[in-house]
Amino acid sequence: MRIFKGFFGNKAEEVDYGRMPLHIAIIMDGNGRWAKKRGLPRNLGHREGSNTLRRVVADCCDLGIKYLTVYAFSKENWKRPENEVEALMGLLLEYLKNADRELAGRDIRIRILGDAAGLSEEIVREIARVERSTRDNKGLNLLIALNYGGRDEIVHAVRSIAEACARNKLKAEDICETTIAERLYSAGIPDPDLVIRTSGEKRISNFLLWQSAYAEFWFTDVLWPDFGKRHLLNAIKEYQTRNRRFGGI
């Protein structure tokens, strides 16, 4: 059994590499509040949050995590002020354009989960380029939920099933959980084992509704820009104490 030890203050956190979560999903919340506490514009909070994401991606690589899904921009986020939306999209575009440098030679595959409708042509082109250029990488799968909504994803799957039935390619009695899962944006990706939400909020906010049916949740008051490796390790350590029965005894 391989143990990772990281010392924070006088406390040693021990994480068992033999029982790591296969898939971690993170609701990255608190950028605006982080900036407000410091008397800074919200957009600077988002930039600091993007720096945190870079560090967390590197940490997940080092820990051997195979899948990391991050909630970057929800369907509901379009309701935010126009300048804030533009700043968020600008940060995303910057990340995509500099993907090779951002990955720093790490074996990472990038995929986008969400609806391309509403995104700029430039972002759509960069998404296609980055997904294509990283598709053969075998290390961490970095899944970015962009223009994403859990309900919207399920509606998208249901429409696909309805169309298949209308074309007589699928019978109603043959519809099962697998039928739906195969039509989600996350088709072929294991469901998350651990969902982390920062900033003290304790809700799922329309994130991976179908996929999180049996996920373990870990909430922290830490604002996303302040989230670090010790918090990630604490979440994993608590996950390893959970008894995951999946409805059994």
In a domain, 8, yes or no: no
10, 16, 29, 62: the active-site residue: 29
Per residue in 35-59, pLDDT (tens digit) is: 999 999 999 999 999 999 999 999 9
Give a yes or no: residue 200 inside a domain.
yes
2 in any annotated domain? no
In a domain, 60, yes or no: yes
Domain contains 161: no
Question: Total structural domains in the chain?
Answer: 1
**4 versus 88: which is more confidently predicted?**
88
Catalytic residue among 77, 137, 206, 226: 77
Residue ranges making up the domain that contains 74: 18-149+190-239
Report which of 33, 41, 122 is spatially closest to residue 87, judged by C-alpha positions. Answer: 41
DSSP 223: -
- CATH number of the domain residue 70 falls in: 3.40.1180.10
- Residue 65, phi then psi, degrees to nearest 5: -70, 135
What percent of the chain is predicted at pLDDT more than 90? 87
Q: Is residue 70 a part of any domain in this protein?
A: yes
Nearest CA-CA partner of 142 in 90, 106, 178: 106
29 is catalytic: yes
Tell me whether residue 201 is in a domain. yes
Confidence check: pLDDT of 113 > 60: yes
Residue 77 is among the residues annotated as catalytic for this protein: yes
Q: Check whether 243 has a pLDDT greater than 90.
A: no
Question: Greatest CA span in the chain, whole angstroms?
Answer: 65
Tell which residue, 16, 11, 121, has the closest CA to residue 63: 16
